[in-house]
Amino acid sequence: MNRRDMLASLGLIAAAGTAGADDTQTKRHAGNGPMAVPHAHFCGIHMFKKNPKIQFTTQHYCVGQGEGVHQCTLYDGTGPTAKLIGIEYLITDELYQGLPDEEKRLWHPHTYEVLAGGLIAPGMNETEEHKFMSYVLKTWGKAWHTWPDPSTKIPMGEPMLIWSLMGDGQADEKVVAARDKEFGISTAAVRKKRIEQFKMEPPQVSLPKDMNYIGRMWTDNGPDVPKKK
C-alpha cells in the first residue's frame, strides 16, 4: 500500500483536495514511506495464547529488516478497508535460541503452521511459495493483536499475545473452512503437499499450559527435533 492508498483508506485524500492541497506533493512523497517497499503477503490462523479457543484468520504483510528479522503488519482482511489489527515480528531460530526464558515465552513457532498447511501465501507461484515457506518453517513469531475484536467499531481492550497452532485437533474447523473458501484452497491438500516437499511430519505439540509456557517446535519433551517422514 503506497501513501496515496493509505491516505485514501483514511478518507484524507478528499479532505486534502477540498483544502486545495497540490496532488503533486502526494505523488512526490508516495515512494518514501516504509509501506512503499514490496511486502510479502501470507495468511495464517492466529489464536490468543490466553485462550486458544479464540481463533481467527489473519493477513500478514511482512518486510525484512536484515540480520534474520522481519516485521509484519496484521490485518483482518485483504481489501482496501481492512482493519489494522496488530503487529508481528519474525526471527530465525538462531536468534531465538539466544533469548532469555522471560523473553522466549512471548514467541511462538511456525513449524506446524507450515507443514500442516495453516500458512498460505496467496499471490505467490509454487516456486516462490516453497522458497518462502522453507524460510518461515524454522522462524519464531512475536505477535500482538492491538484490536482484539475487529467486530467492534474502535479497538477495545488490552493487546492480546498471539500463539500458533501446533498440533492436530487444535484448529477451529469453522475458521479453517472459511479461510479455505475465501482463497479457494484446501488446507488438507496443502498439508499433503508440504509433507512431501519437506519430508517431515507436522509436529504434535500441546497447547500452552499458561502464559509463562515456552514454546517448542517439534515435540512436547525430549530433544526438540523433527520427525522424518
Check whether 84 has a pLDDT greater than 70. yes
- Give residue 216's pLDDT: 97
Q: Assess contact for 2 and 36: CB atoms under 8 A.
A: yes
- Give residue 36's pLDDT: 82
63 assigned to some structural domain: yes
Residues of the chain with pLDDT > 70: what percent? 86
Confidence of residue 15 (pLDDT cuts 50, 70, 90): very low
227 assigned to some structural domain: no
Q: Could you read off the pLDDT of 118-173 as tens digits, one per residue? A: 999 998 999 999 999 999 999 999 999 999 999 999 999 999 999 999 999 999 99
Question: How far is it, in rounded angstroms, from Cα 120 to Cα 50?
Answer: 25
Question: How far is it, in rounded angstroms, from Cα 217 to Cα 211?
Answer: 17
Quote the pTM value: 0.85
E-strand stretches of the chain: 40-48, 55-66, 69-75, 84-92, 108-109, 139-145, 160-164
Residues 42 and 26 in one domain: no
Mean per-residue pLDDT for 164-185?
A: 97
Name residues whose C-beta falls within 8 Å of residue 203's C-beta, 6 or more positions apart in sequence. 111, 112, 115, 166, 167, 217, 218, 219, 226, 227
Q: Assess contact for 65 and 92: CB atoms under 8 A.
A: no
Neighbours of 6 (CB within 10 A): 16
Confidence of residue 19 (pLDDT cuts 50, 70, 90): very low
CA separation, residue 93 to residues 17, 114, 211 (Å): 48, 15, 21
Q: How many CA atoms lie within 13 A of 171 on its CB side?
A: 24
- Residues of the domain holding 127: 38-198
Residues 58 and 24 in one domain: no
205 assigned to some structural domain: no
| Between residues 29 and 138, the one the model is more confident about | 138
- Give residue 30's pLDDT: 54
Residues 189 and 149 in one domain: yes
- Give residue 6's pLDDT: 33
Residues 133 and 77 in one domain: yes
